[in-house]
Amino acid sequence: VLTAAHCMVEADAVVGSTKGFFRAPLSEVQVAVGSILNTTASPIGVKRVVISPLYDPKNNTHDIALLELNSALTFNNSVKPALITSARIGAGKSCVALGWGYTENRTVSNVLQQVQLETAKNDQCSTGYPGWAGQDGDLICTGNTPGRDTCYGDSGGPL
């Protein structure tokens, strides 16, 4: 499972509950796999976390980690490997972000949230990110659509 390194620190994980986010020992972390509509997904434990050796928390670069699960996944219509593209991203591309982060009520959602976003133009991104290297660099920048964004706690989720 691919996630953000800053969510997995010193063999702990940042997990969410209805009371907010907290650190939990890796032995207590489980991953539910399947459709977001499937409420009967069986949780799978995490065997180990592999954080990029290039991860730099001060500069927030190479913020990537892999979770090795306790058991192998069975691929089906709801569980598929992620596809990696070498295509250029550019501006105006539609994408969906998923997460369990805080809602507008400042509570952690118990339902997986999703938001439709669009990649922004480079001049928009360079205003908010000094040193912006473009959509084909290390980051993907989405535009400012009022009322549509990811929230605190969505880190490590898919885009």
b/e string for 140-152 if b means 16 or more Cβ within 10 A?
A: ebbeeeeeeebbe
Please name the amino acid found at residue 8: M
Alpha helices in the chain, H assignment, sequence order: 122-128
Q: From CA 32, how far away is CA 34, in angstroms rounded?
A: 7
- Return the active site residues: 6, 63, 155
Calculate the dihedral angle through the C-alpha atoms of 15, 47, 84, 92, rounding to the nearest 10 degrees: 0
Q: How many CA atoms lie within 13 A of 54 on its CB side?
A: 5
Instruction: List, edge to edge, every strand of the sheet that includes 8-9.
Output: 8-9, 12-17, 20-25
